[in-house]
Structure 1
Amino acid sequence: MVAMSLDQAPTPRRAQILHEAAQLFAARGFHGVSVDEIGAASGISGPGLYRHFRGKDAMLAELLVGISEKLLDEGRRRVADAPDPTARLDALICGHIDFALNERALIVLHDRDLSSLPDADQRKVRRLQRAYVEIWVGVAREAYPAFAAVDGEPRTRAAVHAVFGLLNSTPHSASTHRAPRPPDTEAMAGLLRTLALGALAAAGA
């Protein structure tokens, strides 16, 4: 068995540090947060964080690479568990909605601070994301055979990216919502599912 490096050992403390780092990075930007501030939010001294992570760069990499790996693994699992193309597409949509509603800080962080990762980690994130997109493209083409007849994969891929844009806009819409109270999570999930299914059905018609 290969021994885990310091930045790979899973512990509740590390998970707490990563959670606090994600919230702070999303609120103020990666470069606007210090190690001491992450430590204070986690209930640990700034220098104490170095027992768990080599530094802020390692935290950012684990957050963005980690969520990309999680999305890909979850997408593969949902596709494997669903009985037919329509069910597989619905499962992918529902899984991504769960991500969009529960990992809002990471969506903001990815949109704004991916370029702060070292080049090797950026390439890894993009490689994982491409694999995730290809799962969606394959399932969408199975669910809507008309995709294959109209521009083939480029049209399908464009439609999938458009749906990602719709679902991933959730954190931004939540932060600017001006109604007396925003939709609850269940209602928002239902709305996003309806919109995503409708968009893909229209594009694949």
Structure 2
Amino acid sequence: MTTPVTARDRAKAERADALLQEASRLFAERGYSGVSLEDIGSAVGVSGPAVYRHFAGKQALLGAVLIKVSEELVSGGRNVFDGAADESERMRALVTFHVDFALSNADVIRVQDRDLAHLADADQAEVRRLQRTYIDLWIDALHPLQSGATDELRLRVQACFGLINSTPHSTRSASRSKKTTARTLITMAEAALLAGL
């Protein structure tokens, strides 16, 4: 039997989500070292010490941000993988999923690129484990479409991620629409994955 969720439980969960969102934004803008717990708390209307009701400290908050996004990638990627009708659709759906994710989560991509080294060892190991799981999912999708050893397929997948994930760094003030950018990225990513066929 599960305990019913109370209004207080919901409020606490909403505050924790708000802290994660603002931490992502502030870490992206200023870098991990340039942000204090007071800054993060202030962004959601609480004092710095009140953040400790939700997270053990700034490093734990960074870990929660990067683990959460890594879990979302794995979960979303699995759903896409399992829902595809055939091999070609599966690969295209994964590319589309990742492009949409990258364009919608530019802040967390910047944080991942710049501040991964600031994670506690256990959190860094968990992020790396989740990243490997996500990459392996893509390799499994690519294998029926592209001949080559696993190392070659891994290189293609990681190069594809590099292409897609670099975009939020350069399109912040772009005049192109998100839809146009997504279409271009999908075309380029598929070409990179399937080149040589």
Segments of 5+ residues of structure 1 without an aligned counterpart are 4-8
Aligned residue in 1 for 2:180: 187
- SS of match in other structure, 1:183: coil
The structure 1 segments of at least 4 consecutive aligned residues displaced by more than 3 Å after TM superposition are: none
CA distance in 2 between counterparts of 1:157 and 1:54 reads 36
Quote the Cα distance in structure 2 between the aligned partners of 1:10 and 1:90: 38
**Hey, what's the Cα distance between the residues in 1 that align with 2:54 and 2:108?**
20
1:6 corresponding residue in structure 2? none
What do you get for the CA RMSD once the two structures are aligned? 1.9
| 1:135 Cα deviation after fit | 0.7
Q: Among 155, 168, 172, which residue is 1:171 paired with?
A: 168
Alignment equivalent of 1:45, drawn from 44, 47, 62: 47
The one-character-per-residue Cα deviations of 1:71-103 (angstroms, maximum 9, x if unpaired) are: 011111100000111011011101111111011
- Alignment correspondent of 1:161: 158
SS of corresponding position for 1:143 = coil
Deviations 1:92-118 (A, max 9, x none): 101111111011111110111111011
Q: How many pairs align?
A: 190
- Code of the aligned partner of 2:165: N
Following the alignment from structure 2 to structure 1, what is the Cα–Cα distance between the partners of residues 20 and 141? 33
Please list the CA deviations of residues 141-200 of structure 1 after superposition, one character each: whole Å capped at 9, or x if unmatched: 1123xx23xxx111111111100000000111124x6xxx52111111111101111111
In structure 1, what residue type is equivalent to 2:190?
L
TM-score normalised according to structure 1 size = 0.87
Q: Aligned letter for 2:106?
A: R
Corresponding residue number in structure 1 for 2:8: none
The Cα shift of 1:47 comes to 1.6
What amino acid does structure 2 have at the position aligned with 1:34?
A: S
- Counterpart in the other structure of 1:92: 94
What stretches of structure 2 of length at least 5 have no aligned partner? 4-10
CA distance in 2, matches of 1:45, 1:105: 23
Matched residue type, 2:191 = G
Whether 1:197 aligns to 2:197 is no
Higher mean C-alpha deviation, range 48-57 or range 67-76: 48-57
Q: Deviations over 1:107-135 (max 9, x none)?
A: 11011111101111111111110111011
Counterpart amino acid of residue 183 in structure 1:
R
What residue identity is the alignment partner of 1:81?
G
Distance 1:96 1:10, change over 3 A: farther
d(CA) in 2 for partners of 1:118 and 1:51?
19
Percent same amino acid at aligned positions?
A: 43
Task: State yes or no: 1:17 paired with 2:19.
Answer: yes
